[in-house]
Amino acid sequence: MAVARHESGALGAGRALASQVHPVFMLPPLATSLFGALLAGGVDLRVAALHAGAMFFAVYTAHVKDGYVDFHVRGEDDDHPLTVDGCRGALVGAGIGFLVCLVGLWALVGPGTALVTLPTWVIGYTHAPQLDLNPVGATMGYPTGISLALLGGYYAQATAFSPRVLGLAAVFLVLLTGIKIIDDEKDYDYDRSIQKRTVAVVLGPRRARRLAVGLLVTAMVGTVALAVTLSGVPPTAAGAAAVFGLVAAIARRAESELATMLLIRGSYLFLAVLVAAVWFQPFA
């Protein structure tokens, strides 16, 4: 069975499989999972590693499935490193890896953790060609996965939810949805030509940008509100909103590709400040 389209041998197959690990999209779910564990308090490293591993396999599944559908099924992409059999083998391998992590979480923590974690793989597998056919699924699939990574990482340690983790999950959902709307602007002409109904196509680029900015502002206001009203969220968490707000202000009038680049990096800073606030809690 040939795995790689352009190379042969085990090394070529390994490179083709590794090409589906996209750090820009892979690191946030893993970091958010670990942030959820930290937010819960005492961290069982075995459980945290299993949940982060499950997030890796869920996102890897999404990347492989998306590439398979866009190149081998729809013919939208110009190239793809994996053959049809390579894509299918990668999906099976990622599915097995996810299942191993899920069984481990069930054994160490209980069935509740497995049930909270399972939807991340479902979203990854159905992103294409099911969820990406409508504006809600295409825009909110990844943000929903990040929110579930936070909830799952927390639940795996605490076996319950708290107002602070639910509030922060909502903030991440709104924040990343705004970024995704702006990201889709750069493909507006192509998406419109193939009748792909992204938010930018449905609303038009200008109104889509206004909606995205509104969502980003809502997420920052929500972060400050959580820092002020919930005892489990330290006041210094409001600094995350200030840092991201500065980046968002710079990116507001930039064209979509530059704006997306800035906002994604701003979201990394946002998470980093939240982690530092929870880790150190200087005013606790």
Burial 93-122 (b: 16+ CB within 10 A, else e): ebbebbeebbebbbeebeeebbebbbebbe
pLDDT for the residue 49? 98
* pLDDT band of 134, cuts 50, 70, 90: confident
In b/e form, how buried is each residue of 237-268, taking b as 16+ CB within 10 angstroms?
Answer: bbbbbebbbebbeebeeeebeebbebbbebbb
DSSP codes, the chain: ---BSS--HHHHHHHHHHTT--HHHHHHHHHHHHHHHHHHSS--HHHHHHHHHHHHHHHHHHHHHHHIIIIIIS--SS--SB-HHHHHHHHHHHHHHHHHHHHHHHHHT-HHHHHHHHHHHHHHHHTTTTGGGSHHHHHHHHHHHHHHHHHHHHHHHHSS--HHHHHHHHHHHHHHHHHHHHHHHTTHHHHHHTT---HHHHH-HHHHHHHHHHHHHHHHHHHHHHHHH-TTS-GGGHHHHHHHHHHHHHHTTS-HHHHHHHHHHHHHHHHHHHHHHHHH-TT-
Domains of the chain (ranges; CATH) run 13-160 (1.10.357.140), 162-284 (1.20.120)
The predicted-structure confidence for 180-206, as pLDDT tens digits, reads as follows 999 999 888 888 887 788 999 999 999
Structure confidence by residue, pLDDT tens digits, 52-77: 999 999 999 999 999 999 899 888 88
Q: State the sign of the Cα–Cα–Cα–Cα dihedral 250, 256, 257, 263.
A: positive
Residue whose C-alpha is closest to residue 161's, from 267, 55, 232, 239 = 232
Give the confidence band of 282 by pLDDT, cuts at 50, 70, 90.
very low
Per-residue pLDDT averaged across 210-239, rounded?
Answer: 92
Share of the chain above pLDDT 90, in %: 79
CA separation for the pair 61, 122 (Å, rounded): 9
Query: Span 143-150, mean pLDDT?
Result: 97
pLDDT band at 78, cuts 50/70/90?
A: confident
pLDDT > 70 in the chain, percent: 99
Region 246-252: mean pLDDT is 93
Taking only the tens place, the pLDDT of each residue in 94-130 is 999 999 999 999 999 999 999 999 999 999 999 888 8
Per-residue pLDDT at 42 exceeds 90: no
pTM listed for this prediction: 0.94
Tell me: pLDDT of 212 over 90: yes
Would you state the pLDDT for residue 204?
Answer: 93
Overall average pLDDT of the 236-262 stretch: 93
pLDDT higher than threshold 60 for residue 236? yes
Q: What burial class does residue 284 get, using C-beta atoms within 10 Å of its C-beta: 0-12 exposed, 13-18 middle, 19+ buried?
A: exposed
Torsion sign (Cα): 204, 207, 211, 213: positive
CA distances from 71 to 74, 78, 129, 284 (A): 6, 7, 12, 52
State residue 219's pLDDT score.
97
Label residue 283 by pLDDT band (50, 70, 90): very low
Question: Over 50: is that where the pLDDT of 284 sits?
Answer: no
Mean pLDDT of the chain: 93
